[in-house]
Amino acid sequence: MGRGVGAQGRGSLGDGPAQWCGAAFIDAEDIAAVAAHALTDPTPPNTDWILTGPQALSYDAVAAVLTEVTGRPVRHRSVSVEEMRARHARVMPPEFATVLADVDRRIADGAEDRTTDAVARLTGRPPRSFTTYAEDNSDALTTS
Q: What domains sit in the chain, N to C, each tagged with a CATH number?
A: 2-79+112-142 (3.40.50.720)
Give me the pLDDT at residue 8, please: 46
Residue 48, SS3?
A: coil
Q: Is 71 left (phi over 0), alpha (psi -120 to 50) or beta?
A: left
Residue 11 has pLDDT above 60, yes or no: no
What integer is the mean pLDDT of 111-128? 96
Q: Is 143 in contact with 42 (CB distance < 8 Å)?
A: no
Q: What is the mean pLDDT of the chain?
A: 88
Residue 112, SS3?
A: coil
Backbone phi, psi, residue 67, to 5°: -60, -45
Give me the pLDDT at residue 22, please: 84
Residue 139 has pLDDT above 50, yes or no: yes
What integer is the mean pLDDT of 130-137? 96
Give me the pLDDT at residue 116, please: 98
Whether the full predicted model's pTM is greater than 0.75, yes or no, is: yes
Q: Is 79 in contact with 14 (CB distance < 8 Å)?
A: no
CA–centroid distance for 13 within its chain: 11
Residue 5 has pLDDT above 70, yes or no: no
